[in-house]
A and B are shown apart, each in its own frame.
Chain A
Amino acid sequence: MQTPLALDRDPTPVPIVRLSDEDLMGRVAEGDERAFTELVRRFQGRVTNLVSRVLNDREASDDLAQEVFVRVFVHRRNYRRGSKFSTWLFTIAANLAKNEIRRRVRRRNWFSLDALQEVLGDSSSHLADPTEGKEVSMQREQLQKTVGSAIASVPEKYRLALVLRDIEGFPYEEIGEMLNIPGGTVRSRINRARGILKRKLIPLLRKEAEQ
Chain B
Amino acid sequence: MNCRQARNLFSAYWDDEITQGEREWLESHFSSCAACRREYESLARTLEAVSDLPRVEVSSGFAERALAAAKRRSPAVDRMPGTVRRWVPVTATAVLLAIVAATVMQWSGMPLGPRHEGAVATLEQPVLIVPQPVKTEVPSPPKASAASTAPDAAWMAGAEGVSDSLFDHSEDVDFVLDSVTLRKGRAHTVVRLQPEPTRGEQAVITF
Contact = CB atoms under 8 A, between A and B. Distances in A.
Given A166-B50, A194-B43, A44 B62 contact: yes
Nearest to A197: B46
Contacts of A209: 45
A37 B46 contact: no
A140 to B, nearest CB: 9
A41 interface: yes
Interface stretch (A14-22, A72-80, A89-97): A72-80
Given A40-B67, A74-B80, A144-B54, A198 B46 contact: yes
A33 B67 contact: yes
A106 B152 CA distance: 70
Given A73-B70, A75-B77, A62 B46 contact: no
A193 B150 CA distance: 94
Main secondary structure of the interface of A (DSSP, over half): helix
B59 A75 contact: no
Contacts, number: 111
Contact of B58 (A48, A73, A194): A48
B11 A187 contact: yes
B66 A49 contact: no
B11 A201 contact: no
Contact of B50 (A167, A191, A206): A167
Interface of A: 33, 36-37, 40-41, 44-45, 48-49, 52-53, 58, 61-62, 65-67, 69-70, 72-78, 143-144, 147-148, 151, 162, 165-167, 172, 187, 190-191, 194, 197-198, 201-202, 205-206, 209
Interface of B: 11-12, 15, 17, 42-43, 45-47, 49-59, 62-67, 69-71, 73-74, 76-77, 80-82
Given A70-B69, A187-B12, 7 more contacts: A33-B71, A44-B63, A45-B56, A62-B62, A69-B70, A73-B77, A74-B74
